[in-house]
Amino acid sequence: MSTHTVSFSELSKNSKRVAEVVERAQRVHVTRRDGEDLYLTTERHDRQREETADVTTRLFTALISSDEGARAVLLALPQVFPWVRHLSAVEVREFVVDLVNAVRDAAELDVHSNLHRVIVEWRATARILADPELTAQLTAPLPDGDHGEVPAP
């Protein structure tokens, strides 16, 4: 789906025309030079997107609550996330639990950063496991000795 794009200055100079475009397109990308880009959308379109996320979350949650559904999700996972082939069976299950919890956070709490973080972190783990040299380097025992206190992040 192609999204119509306008500059922030065009929005400020021609807000009525841009509002008409939003009503037709339901979503407009607003570019800015001195800040993060924005999206303008209609209230109806935003409500529909929230409903889509809610239905998807409930469906996903219902699927994994039964053995057959969980198997279906596990079988479908490589099509959505091809890199899971580098994870062990235990890690794949942990990923699914993390994924479901993050999807719930997105739908129930409107917190989407957790979903992004879960995917990025598990993909990074798979990337490490896909490289035998890197895996060996990162899983090798540390040299003996006290390395001092680890500061809080």
Helices (H), 65-151: 67-80, 89-109, 113-130, 132-139
Give me the sheet containing 27-31, strands edge to edge.
Answer: 4-7, 27-31, 38-41
Q: What percent of the chain has pLDDT over 70?
A: 99
Give the span between the Cα atoms of 99 and 77, in whole angstroms: 11
87 located within any domain? yes
Rounded distance between C-alpha atoms, residue 69 and residue 78, angstroms: 15
Domain count across the chain: 2
Encode pLDDT of 70-109 as tens digits.
899 999 999 999 999 999 999 999 999 999 899 888 888 8
Domain that holds residue 35: 4-41
Q: Inform me whether the pLDDT recorded for 141 exceeds 90.
A: no
Average pLDDT (7-21) is: 93
As a whole number of angstroms, the distance between CA 125 and CA 129 comes to 6
Instruction: Verify that 55 and 130 share a domain, yes or no.
Output: yes
Task: Specify the amino acid at residue 114.
Answer: N
Residues 68 and 107 in one domain: yes
| pLDDT for residue 50 | 87
Q: Are residues 59 and 129 in the same domain?
A: yes
Is position 10 within any domain? yes
Instruction: Tell me the C-alpha to C-alpha distance, in Å, between residue 20 and each of 2, 17, 23.
Output: 17, 5, 5
Residues 105 and 34 in one domain: no
Give the per-residue pLDDT at 29.
95
Decide if 64 contacts 100 (C-beta within 8 A).
yes
Beta bridge partners of 7: 31
Among 120, 71, 69, 79, which Cα is nearest to 99's? Answer: 120
CA angle 93, 96, 98 (to 5 degrees): 110
Q: How does the average pLDDT of the chain come out, rounded?
A: 91
